[in-house]
Amino acid sequence: MIAVENQAPVSENAIPKDASDGFVVPESNAFGQSFRDYEATVRLSIVENTYRLNHINQTYDFVKRTREEYAKLNKAEMSIWEAIELLDSFVDESDPDLEEPQIQHLLQSAEAIRKDYPNEEWMHLTALIHDLGKVLYHSKFGSLPQWAVVGDTHPVGCAFDESIVYHKVFLKTLVNYYFKENPDYNNPAYNTKLGVYSEGCGLENVLLSWGHDDYMYMVAKANGTTLPSAALFTIRYHSFYPLHTEGAYQYLMNEEDRENLKWVQTFNKYDLYSKSSVHIDVEKVKPYYESLIKKYFPEKLRW
C-alpha cells in the first residue's frame, strides 16, 4: 500500500477480479465502427473541425493565460453532483465514438471499472469525475469553445509530435497541417524537440493544451480531495494519448510520472471502451456515487 498524508491509500495490487461478469471490451463502438478511427468516423466533419480549431488556437500563451484564469477558482460554488448534472445535455464534439450526453459517459465508465475492480472505490469515483472539467463549456464557467474543453491533449511550448490526432490531414492528394497555422509553429523558442523544457523535467512542469483534464485536476486538488495521487494523475493526463498510448514525449517524464503512468493506462480501457448508446439509469446509481463523493470531497467545491 502507498499512503500519502490526507490521501486514501492505493493498493499496489488492484487486481481485477476474474469473474465472468467483468467488463467486456466490445469489438466496435456505438456506430459499429472501430474505436478512435479518426479517418472513418461518422462524426468526421465535426470532430475534425474541433481539432482544427484546437491545433490552431492552443498556443503556449493561450494555455498559460487560461490556466492562470481558471486557477482562481472563482467561477462557481457547487457540489460534485451538481456539476455532473450540468453535463446532462453536453455532447463532446471531439469524440469519434460517442454522441451521448456526457453524464452518460461518466456513469458508463464508472460502472465499467466498478465491474472489474469492485473493491477499489477510489477508481469508481475517479472514473465518475474524470471528465467533469467539461463544465468549462457552461455559461457559469465562461462558455469556453469546445476546442478549449474537449479532445486529446498535447504539450505546448515544444514541437508538436506526429502522433497527435489530425497532425496530418489528407485532402485527396494534398496533405494539410493545421499546426502550421498555430503561431507557435514558427517560433524558435517553442518549435524544437525540448522547446522551453528540459529532459526529465517532470510532467508537473509541462503545459498541456488547455482543457477538461487539467481543470478538473486543479479543482479536485485545491478543494482538498482525499483521492490518492494516482487518481489525480489519471484525471490530469487521461487525454494525453500521445504519451499514454503512442509513447511520445517520454523524455519529459520523471520517475514519479513513470510510476503513475500505469494507472492512466489501466483507466484508459474503461474510459474508451465503455462508450455505448446503452443508457444508465441516473437515479438508480446516484445513491452509490453520492456516498463515494461524500467520502472524498467537501459538500461544496470552489470551481
Ligand X SMILES: O[C@H]1[C@H](O)[C@@H](O)[C@H](O)[C@@H](O)[C@H]1O
By CB under 6 A, name the binding residues for ligand X.
92, 94-95, 131, 150-152, 238-239, 241
Among 111, 120, 131, 214, binds Fe ion (CB under 5 A): 131
Give the C-alpha separation, 85 to 103, whole Å. 7
18 annotated ligand-binding residue? no
116 contributes a contact to Fe ion by CB under 5 A: no
238 annotated ligand-binding residue? yes
Least distance (Å) between residue 151 CB and ligand X: 5
Of the pair 100, 131, the CB lying nearest ligand X is at 131
Least distance (Å) between residue 131 CB and Fe ion: 4
Partner from Fe ion, ligand X, none binding residue 95, C-beta < 5-8 Å depending on class: ligand X
Least distance (Å) between residue 105 CB and Fe ion: 6
279 annotated ligand-binding residue? no
93 contributes a contact to Fe ion by CB under 5 A: no
CA atoms in the 13 A half-sphere facing the CB of 99: 9
134 annotated ligand-binding residue? yes
Among 41, 102, 271, 292, binds Fe ion (CB under 5 A): 271
Site for Fe ion in 141-200 (CB under 5 A): none
105 annotated ligand-binding residue? yes
Judge residue 9's burial from the number of C-beta atoms within 10 Å of its C-beta, 0-12 exposed, 13-18 middle, 19 or more buried: exposed
Of the pair 100, 271, the CB lying nearest Fe ion is at 271
64 annotated ligand-binding residue? no
Partner from Fe ion, ligand X, none binding residue 94, C-beta < 5-8 Å depending on class: ligand X
Least distance (Å) between residue 130 CB and ligand X: 8
Grid coordinates 459538500 are at which residue?
Answer: 299
* Rounded-to-10 torsion of CA 65, 202, 257, 270: 30
17 annotated ligand-binding residue? no
111 contributes a contact to Fe ion by CB under 5 A: no
Annotated binding site for Fe cation: 105, 130-131, 212, 238, 271
Annotated binding site: 36, 92-94, 105, 130-131, 134, 151-152, 212, 238-239, 271
Residues lying near Fe ion in the complex (CB under 5 A) are found at 131, 239, 271
